[in-house]
Every structure is written in structure tokens, then in C-alpha cells.
Amino acid sequence: MVSKYKVSAIVAGYNVEEYIEECLDSLSSQTLKELEVIMIDDGSPDKTGEIMDRYSNKYENFKVVHQTNQGLSMVRNNGMDIAEGEFIAFVDGDDIVPENAYALMYSMLAETGSDMVSGGVNRTNGSKVTRSFLHKKAVKDTVRKTNIFNNPELIYDTTSWNKLYRKSLLLENHLSFPKSMLYEDMPLELSCHLLAKSVDIIEDCVYVWRRREGENTSITQQRSDMKNFLDRIKSIEMCFDAIDKYVTDEKKKQRIKRNLEFKVLDLDLMLYINAMNSYDQNYRKEVRTIILNLVNKFDPNIINLLVSSKKLKYSLLMDNELESLAKISNYRAITFRKEKPKKENGKLYQEYKFVTSNSGKPYKIEKTAFTFNNRMESIEVNEENHLIVKGHMYISQLDSKKSSNIKATISILNITNQRDITIPLECKLKSKHVTRKYGVKKSSINPLSRVYNYDYSGYSMKLSLSEAQHILGEGRWKFKINYFYEDIAVEGILGQPQKVKMPNYIFIDETNVLEFKANHDWELYIKSHEPNVLITDIISNDQNEVAFAMKTKETNHKYQIYFEEDETKDVCAKFSLMNKQLVLSKDILEKTNEKIINLYAFDTETYIKYSIYSSIQKKFVNTEEYDLILVISLI
């Protein structure tokens, strides 16, 4: 029998009475209506179970299960056993799901047929919301029908709740969460990525992950707890076992193992190394032994991919210099850049005078990995539809002088269809302000002196958008920088706007719009596409009504048009789009008088909100009587 539910969301609740209502309210507000919510109270001694009962009585699609305490893994496994939906989602009871999340993810999976979709994640402490650092690495761009071999950054995609899974992927491969351990997500997530015929990535935020503060911290935030550490190690080992089990191609296996080894050195173990100053002596020794037992199984060359400061910490760990390691474990990053690298026998070395070995000499680390920095300082589209971007770029800790041997090109890649073009980049432009800001102060005695010289790190790029559209076509365009400094070659993505006002969008022809955006890692991209909803003309404009001619991409879909106040985000008008015309009557005009109003369209077939675009030159509509301004195109 076909289920009436498209998605089953399994909510885990244990001692979350402080947060569970906000979590369940976010699920009741989902625009995807064919949603089953399975709430599992894992033997909570607080009022979590009572609150779940209340929601079960209020909403027909909310179901509650009360069980003796079995742990998070069994909550999720038990939820999978009774889920009726075609796709499964997991939710922790102290987190929040944005209202459009499941509609966006389900719509993409319905389009692509992929087994899984991963989305962007924000973090909150209850008052402030920021982008999750971990997920910025894994989820940068919206990509359809890919996999972990084509997008190796997905090795950082280790959480279960920013996803929808095709239920058959989990059940047919007998996948479940390992019992009685923390970090239970990691091996299951990697197994899914390895087994899925394809996965989708959606950069929009689909989950808000709560960081608890004070006494009410979650267990995974407690770095000095030995079970926390041992469970992380066990989870890592299970990930390597999954690669051996599911990847038969030897080249792919070695490649994915190297990616995982780097991630473990760069992120997982570094969390505990950076907490060394909070451990006692015996704990430090035990952590060292366990880390070395794991790392000694890795390719020894992987450590050369780490930045010098992290290589220093591993050197101290291996040399059993635990007091020195504890001393520097929480140093600010800038402390490690106070001394310039020096060249010896054709190699660059970083000397750290604040750390000495048993022989009394400063630690000296070969610099084998380089940090490339670039920032946009201005971006504009001129009357000839040329995109002009200016900014600065440099390799951290390497001077960019007038005499420096620096070259660069930029490749514009359509990641949707893999078409690309390469254009030269004018570089080594004068930029003394970069040295002042990023050159690192030498000392407080002379506050104007700097360690590094970036006086000629400026760049300028000019691109004909009409020609680019002709070559690249519809899709998502990214700007890949190829940067050459003497015999060092690095790559980066153009972006990092520094107080830059981005252009809105332009029409290259009657159909395609070029939209200028930055992803959640602040990388520039251009989205070339046909709008779902487009205003093509003003039919009438007087004191009684304003009427627009509209065009929709999906001609058989029904749309509702929402008027939302810019400041409060309150909906002040909502009506259906009829006969491809949008008519604003006198009462609507009176409601919106002297207010800035955002318009968006809601597709009743896919449950997705879309921005409304305007191809007419007059972007603002004014009436003589009401002095009305409707923001139609500013999105």
C-alpha cells in the first residue's frame, strides 16, 4: 500500500523540555504537508514526554512513542522501523527545522531520483545564528546527482539531521545507527554516501543546530570526557571499515581513505589536541597513545597537507612534548604567523621560537601547505554587460611585492553542465591597504610596521556576460582562481566580499536571468536560469489599481502570491495568481501605503517559495495618490 506520507521525521527527545516545543512548532509549520512526525520520548524524567503527548493530540500527523531509556541510536533505529514515509529525516529535540526545508529537499529528490540529499546548517545559541563551520566545508553549492567520489568534500558531511534519505537505501542495505555510543552518525553517514547511486546537495539552510551553553551542554560538546574521546576514535575506525566493506575499486578506495585521513588529522583529532591544556598529565598521556595508535596506520605523507601550525602540534605530540603542546594548544592563529618562513636548500621552513625541543632549539617545520586568501573589494556590471571585479589575493606569509613573480588566471566553470572558459586576471596591482590590514603587526612598539608585505596583491577581472552566457549556458557559474607564486601553485574560488554591495540580477535575453550571489562560504557564483515567476509588463497603473502581466515557468502549476512587510516579515496580503495577471486593488494599496513590501510566489504543487523577478526597466511602481513603493525585484 502506498503511504500518504512523503517524509517521516523521527524526533529524538530526552530531557529537552526547554527546547522541544520550538522544535515541534517548526515541524508543524512545514510547507510540505505530506509529513509524518514520529516523536520518541526516550524515558525522559522531565516533561518532554508530556509535551509530545500534547502535540500528538493536537496534530493528526504527529505520533508519540514512549520507551525506556535506550539512547539516541535506538531512538532513531526504532523510529525507522515504524516510519511510513518514502523518505526519512532525523531531528534532535533541541533543534529547529526551517519551514521550507523538507519541501526543498523532497522536490529535489523527486526531480533527480537520488537516494539522499544533504542541506546547509546554521548554528544557534538561542540568540545568535551563524553558519555551521563543519557544514560550510561539506555543503558549499547546490549540486544534483553527484557522489562522494566526485565531491570529496562530502567526507565532512557527518551528521544525520540535515538530510532526507530514501527509506529503501537504509532498509535494503540493513543500515542502522551503532548502539550505545556517541558520534553514531559518522559511520552511517559515510556508508550512505558510499552506497547511494547518487546524492544531491542543497546549499539552503535546512536545519538549525543548537549549541547549548552553561551547565546544559550536550555530551558531544564535552571534549575532556574520556568516553567522548573513545567514542570518536571508535566512530572513525568504523568509517574506515565501511570504506573497506563497500568500495571495491582499489583506486577509489585509496582516494577516499586519503580524504578521510586528512579530515581526521585536520578536524577530528585536532578538537582534542587543542583541548590539551584542560587535561591532567595522565589524561594527556592516554590521549597521546590512542591518537598515535590510530595515526600510525595512516599514509605518512598526509600530514604534509596540513598547515604548519597543525604540523607543529603533531610533531610535539609525537615527540612526547606534552607540556609544550598544552601550552600552545589554544594559542590564537595569528601567534603562529609572527615569524616569516625562511628558505633553506630550496624548501620553506617555519621557525617557532616560542616552542623549544629538548636540545633547546626552536621547533622548525617545513611549510608544505599554503593558505590562499582572496577578497572582492568591488563588483559591478557596466552598460555593456561586462562584469568587473576588483580586489586582492595573496598566499598567507609570502610577500606580494612589485618584484614578486606572480601570475594568475581565472576559469569560469558551469558546475551544472561542466562547460568552462578561462580568462586572464590582471594582478600585482598596488594595494598598500592590504598590508596595513593583513600584514600582521611586528610589535606594539612600532604599531605601523608589518611582518608581511602585500603591497602588490591587487587584482582586476573583466568578463563579457553575454559571451559567457553563450558559452556556458544555464546553470551555476563558479570562478576558480589559478594562482602562481614562483614555483608554488595554488587554487581558490573568487569571493569573500568585503563590505561589497552585490549586483542584483540582469536579463541577458527575454528568457534568462543572471543572478549574482555568494554561497555560504562567501564564494561568488552566478546563477543563470529562467525565472519561475516573472513580471513582464505593467498593464495599468492608477489610483485604483496596479496590474502586472506575469509569466510562469511551469505553466500548469498554481501559484499564490504573498506580500510580506520587509521589516517584520508579516504577510499583509495573499492571493492566487489568476490568468497570468497580478492585480493590486485599492484596499491592497491602502494596506501597503508607505511600506516596503517584498513579493514572493508559493508553488502549490511543490510547496516551494520563489522570488518574483521583473524584466521591465521600471523596477518600482508608484501611484500618485499613495506614494507607494513595492519592492518587486530586490531579492
Whether residue 58 sits in one domain with residue 189: yes
Whether residue 234 sits in one domain with residue 190: no
More confident residue, 550 or 83: 83
End residue of a domain, out of 528, 558, 587: 528
In a domain, 1, yes or no: no
Whether residue 471 sits in one domain with residue 433: yes
The range of the structural domain enclosing residue 546 comes to: 533-631
Is 90 exceeded by the pLDDT of residue 103? yes
Whether residue 196 sits in one domain with residue 49: yes
* Residue 592: predicted pLDDT: 60
Is 70 exceeded by the pLDDT of residue 360? yes
Query: What is the average pLDDT across 30-37?
Result: 96
Average model confidence (pLDDT) for the chain? 89
Whether residue 549 sits in one domain with residue 493: no
Give the CATH number, domain containing residue 98: 3.90.550.10
In a domain, 2, yes or no: no
Question: What is this structure's pTM?
Answer: 0.87
More confident residue, 543 or 402: 402
Q: Which of 474, 469, 580 is nearest to 533 (CA)?
A: 580
Count structural domains, the chain.
4
Is 60 exceeded by the pLDDT of residue 285? yes
b or e along 462-472 (b: 16 or more beta carbons within 10 Å of the residue's beta carbon)?
ebebeebbeeb
Is 90 exceeded by the pLDDT of residue 562? no
Lowest mean pLDDT among 405-419, 467-481, 618-632: 618-632
In a domain, 59, yes or no: yes
User: Is 615:548 a contact under the CB 8 Å cutoff?
Assistant: no
Whether residue 152 sits in one domain with residue 23: yes
> What contacts 53, CB < 8 A, 6 or more positions away?
64
In a domain, 80, yes or no: yes
Is 70 exceeded by the pLDDT of residue 631? no
* Residue 217: predicted pLDDT: 52
Give residue 382's Cα distance to chain centre.
31
Query: Tens digits of per-residue pLDDT, 406-423?
Result: 999 999 999 999 999 999
Query: What is the average pLDDT across 338-343?
Result: 90
* Residue 219: predicted pLDDT: 45
Is 50 exceeded by the pLDDT of residue 571? yes
Query: What is the average pLDDT across 512-530?
Result: 90
Q: Which residues make beta-bridge pairs with 492?
A: 481
* Residue 326: predicted pLDDT: 93
End residue of a domain, out of 347, 366, 385: 366
In a domain, 55, yes or no: yes
End residue of a domain, out of 480, 503, 528: 528
How many percent of the chain have pLDDT more than 70?
Answer: 90
Is 60 exceeded by the pLDDT of residue 515? yes
DSSP state, residue 267: I
Is 50 exceeded by the pLDDT of residue 156? yes
Whether residue 187 sits in one domain with residue 49: yes
User: Is 37:118 a contact under the CB 8 Å cutoff?
Assistant: no
Q: Which residues make beta-bridge pairs with 609?
A: 602
Whether residue 185 sits in one domain with residue 40: yes
Query: What is the average pLDDT across 566-588?
Result: 70
* Residue 407: predicted pLDDT: 94
* Residue 209: predicted pLDDT: 96
Lowest mean pLDDT among 157-161, 428-432, 596-600: 596-600
* Residue 116: predicted pLDDT: 98
Whether residue 563 sits in one domain with residue 477: no
* Residue 560: predicted pLDDT: 83
Whether residue 191 sits in one domain with residue 74: yes
Query: Tens digits of per-residue pLDDT, 287-331?
Result: 999 999 999 999 999 999 999 999 999 999 999 999 999 999 888
Whether residue 123 sits in one domain with residue 92: yes
Cβ–Cβ contacts within 10 Å for residue 454, how many? 27
What are the backbone angles phi and psi of residue 305, rounded to the nearest 5°? -85, -10
Query: What is the average pLDDT across 26-49?
Result: 96
Give the CATH number, domain containing residue 520: 2.60.40
In a domain, 414, yes or no: yes
Rounded Cα–Cα distance for residues 620 and 632 (Å): 7
Is 60 exceeded by the pLDDT of residue 222? no
In a domain, 64, yes or no: yes
CA distance readout (Å), 16 to 44, 64, 98, 349: 8, 15, 19, 50
> What contacts 416, CB < 8 A, 6 or more positions away?
144, 474, 475, 476
In a domain, 377, yes or no: yes
User: Is 87:106 a contact under the CB 8 Å cutoff?
Assistant: yes
Query: What is the average pLDDT across 260-277?
Result: 96
Whether residue 142 sits in one domain with residue 103: yes
